[in-house]
Amino acid sequence: MKYRMAIAAALFPVVAWAWPWSTDMMDQPSIKPQEGEMTPFPKRSIPVGTERIDDSGMLMTEVANREEAKPLTSPLPLTPANLAKGKALFRIYCGACHGLTGKADSPVSPKIGAIPLVDDYVQKTLTEGWIWGTITFGSYIMPAYGDPKARDDGRGANDLSIEERWLVVNYVRHQLAKDAAAEPTKTAAAQ
């Protein structure tokens, strides 16, 4: 009897270890891409051709540089939700260089020559398309947040989708100056 108990105790861990819950990657269920219904393309994939479809399903003619983007206007409505999204994206991607208020008051701004985005030049002279093109293709010091392949030097991150870039443009053109005016100045806050 003791002999049988010893054998059972010795075998139990082996039986428990090899039970059906011990699976490995080789035995997992898998779906082959050619089987069943086709899955949708990834969100930021770009169809081959001369036109792009952005994340919201809008058809957009592809532009090759900032100059071609100049006549474009924002296809997104000016809603409080869109402006809030644009503000969040601005703070993440633009705030480090242009300042959180767009006044080019960050510690980095004077070192790199970042321009204040609340000035009349940006707010009244530059078109929405030009601002979108600058975000997309970058400029002399600013990296491209759109398509880095369009630049000769290949710099860029492709971090922002077409829609996200338009959200930032809407915020810069229609809300940034108001937010900056409501923000207390550094000298007033220091007193």
CB 156 within 8 A of CB 74: no
- Look up the CATH architecture of domain 65-183: Orthogonal Bundle (1.10)
What tens digit of pLDDT does each residue of 32-84 get? 666 666 666 676 665 544 445 455 555 455 687 888 889 988 989 999 999 99
Q: How many CB atoms lie within 10 A of CB 165?
A: 25
The CA radius of gyration of the chain, in Å to the nearest whole number, is 27
Locate all alpha helices (DSSP H) within 18-156, ordered by sequence. Answer: 66-69, 80-89, 95-98, 109-112, 120, 128-137
Interhelix angle 128-137/162-174, rounded to 10 degrees, is 130
Predicted pLDDT of residue 32: 64
